[in-house]
Amino acid sequence: MRTHEQPATDSDLADTLHARGQRATSQRLILYRALRELDRHATADELLRASAERLPNLSLPTVYATLELFEELGLVRRVAVEAGPALWDPRVDPHQHFACRSCGRVIDLDVPARAGTAMAVARAAGHAPDSAQVVVVGLCRHCAGGPADV
């Protein structure tokens, strides 16, 4: 179940976790805060590094398990971009992504994703889809030589 409202504070996240039958552990709170503070799509490795000072014994498998729980609860989105590692997006409202094939940056596009069409096509082919993502791939404005204020 996805919600479009993101917890803004640790207290909000704790309330959301408790309401869904989950514990609000310090690891969960710190990892979610790290993802919000990075203010971009991040890999699990980047989140591990960003949390290392506050959680020196945190392991990569724990980061993945926490992110997967957050995804199940609708708190984050996993963004798959070509052959690279999964990126985690704290923004769960409907939107698309642009992935730069030169610098690797992933940029939110503020247009509603047209996932319904892809889901309908998959269902018509006999599949049982859970979700759909739209990722546009090309050169970002910076790499293409355009205005850099993306």
Taken in order of first residue, the domains within the chain and their CATH numbers are 10-79 (1.10.10.10), 94-144 (3.30.1490.190)
Indicate if the pLDDT at residue 150 is higher than 60: no
Give the pLDDT mean for 85-110.
89
List, for residues 116-147, the tens digit of each pLDDT value.
Answer: 677 788 899 999 988 777 788 999 999 998 66
What three-state secondary structure class fits 122?
helix
Best CA proximity match to 144, nearest among 110, 92, 106, 102? 102
Q: Which amino acid is at 64?
A: Y
Q: How many CB atoms within 10 Å of residue 56? A: 7
1 pLDDT higher than 50:
no
Q: How far apart are CA 73 and CA 147, in angstroms?
A: 37
| Confidence band for 115, pLDDT divided at 50, 70 and 90 | low
Given a cut of 70, is residue 114 above it in pLDDT?
A: no
Mean pLDDT of 97-104: 90
- Band (pLDDT 50/70/90 cuts) for residue 34 is very high
Closest CA to 30 of 5, 52, 15, 6: 52
Predicted local confidence at residue 65, as pLDDT = 97
Q: In this structure, what are the phi and psi dihedrals at residue 142, rounded to the nearest 5 degrees?
A: -65, -50
